[in-house]
Structure 1
Amino acid sequence: MADELDLVRGSGNVFADFGDADAETKKFKAIIAAEIIATLDMRELSVRAGAELAKVDPRDIQRIRNADLSRFTIDRLIRIAHRLGRTIELRVVPAKAA
Structure 2
Amino acid sequence: TGADDDLQFVHPLIATAVHESMSPFHRTALHGRAADLVMESGRGPAAASRHLLQLVPDDDPHVVARLRAAAREHLAVGAPEAARLCLERALIEPPTP
* Both proteins in one fold, TM over 0.5: no
Structure 1 length normalisation: TM-score?
0.29
**Between Structure 1 and Structure 2, which shows a larger proportion of helix residues?**
2
| Higher CA-based Rg | 1
Structure 2 length normalisation: TM-score?
0.29
Structure with greater contact order relative to length (CA < 8 Å, sep ≥ 6)? 1
